Amino acid sequence: MVETTKKRNRVFNYFCQDEQFAGGVAWCAGCPMELIARLTPKVLGKNMIFVGTPGCAAPVLHGQNIGAWHRMAYLASVMTGVPSKATGLSRYYNRIGQDATVVCFTGDGCATDVGFQPLSGAAERQEKFIYLAYDNEGYMNTGNQRSSATQIGAATTTTPVGKIGKGKSNAQKNMPMIMLMHKPTYMATATVSHLEDFIKKLQKAKEKSKEGFVYLHLFSPCPVGWRIDSSKVIEVCREAVRTNYFPLWEAENGKPRITVNVANPKPILEFTKLMRKYSHLKEDGLAELQKQVDERYALLKTLVNAGT
């Protein structure tokens, strides 16, 4: 109990300090990406530069007309070039000896599809910056189209549910695992229901980005596209962890470790019932989704146990 209170106070303290964003910004009510964006500079400190791409983060990170929504340095990039821009920036600051933490802040569509090649290249070269992908499992800013991060069975505007369509017919690309195979200096998955865990990972990310490439994969459900009540978004994140839909783990130099152990994972229905994205799934659809979740978790456990 005392430990839990201490943890809550540590998180609370972070939220009270040095707010870099305006009080009200143009993100939808309940969007966890806002929480991720607000918390990141509080932990990483002021010497950070956001490099962003078109997507839901952009309207606020870019600013509107001549007004800014935040006080940080920001560089806008095309979706295909964000790690290349970050490479130039971080190399330049290293060359002149100036302390700077360069953070790519992109959606899953950019990370897993449109901008994957330069991300893979930067990871392979061990460029010294942080790549943070907020994963809302689709192209949300353009109208909830499926991306390769969209999970099997999910209803989106390009995988609709009707007489013929039954949601996405193939499984989600296992992006954290793909990035693990690049052996980044540090990588982690995180979400906003477990802020203490996220904060520790951000602190480690900052330190490790001085040595090489860092990848952070943030589970960030979209209340609009997933059709979740705004007040239930944190619960959705928590249930994603408790069902192993989104396990929380980290890896240093390719060696994975689970950071939040779930002793008795709940069935996937406890997660899917909180949103309309999966509300059409019957027994067979849920079984297929459960199979995906179990297979992925088993793979992760095998790699953890092998000390890969």
CB of 228 to ligand TPP, least distance (A): 15
**What strands, in cross-sheet order, belong to the sheet with 101-107?**
73-76, 48-52, 101-107, 130-135, 214-219, 186-191, 249-252, 255-258
Residue 245 binds ligand SF4 (CB under 6 A) = no
Residue 234 binds ligand SF4 (CB under 6 A) = no
CB of 53 to ligand TPP, least distance (A): 6
Of the residues 48, 104, 119, 140, which one makes contact with ligand TPP according to CB under 6 A? 140
Range list of β-strands (E), the chain? 48-52, 73-76, 101-107, 130-135, 186-191, 214-219, 249-252, 255-258
Nearer to ligand TPP, 41 or 109 (CB): 109
**Interacting residue ranges for Mg ion, rule: CB under 5 A:** 107-109, 136, 140
Of the residues 60, 72, 89, 110, which one makes contact with ligand TPP according to CB under 6 A? 110
Query: Which pair of tokens denotes residue 141?
Result: 């800013």
Nearer to ligand TPP, 137 or 251 (CB): 137
Nearer to ligand TPP, 87 or 156 (CB): 156
CB of 133 to ligand TPP, least distance (A): 8
Q: Which of residues 37-66 bind ligand SF4 (CB under 6 A)?
A: 56
CB of 138 to Mg ion, least distance (A): 5
Query: Which pair of tokens denotes residue 287?
Result: 């079984």
CB of 61 to ligand SF4, least distance (A): 12
Cα–Cα distance between 196 and 228 in angstroms, integer?
24
Q: Which of residues 49-108 bind ligand TPP (CB under 6 A)?
A: 54-57, 79-80, 106-108
Identity of the amino acid at 301:
K
Closest chain position to ligand TPP (CB): 107
Using alpha carbons, list the distances in angstroms from residue 10 to 16, 45, 241, 245, 260.
Answer: 10, 16, 21, 27, 18
Binding map of ligand SF4 across residues 117-136, x = CB under 6 A, - = no contact:
-------------------x
- How does strand 249-252 pair with strand 255-258? antiparallel
Burial 184-222 (b: 16+ CB within 10 A, else e): bbbbbbbbbbbbebbbbbbebbbebbeebbbbbbbbbbb
Of the residues 31, 102, 104, 199, which one makes contact with ligand SF4 according to CB under 6 A? 31
Cα–Cα distance between 24 and 70 in angstroms, integer?
11
Cα–Cα distance between 297 and 292 in angstroms, integer?
9
Q: Which of residues 128-187 bind ligand SF4 (CB under 6 A)?
A: 136, 140-141
Residues that bind ligand TPP in the complex, under the rule CB under 6 A: 54-57, 79-80, 106-110, 114, 136, 138-142, 147
Residues that bind ligand SF4 in the complex, under the rule CB under 6 A: 27-28, 31, 33, 56, 136, 140-141, 222-225
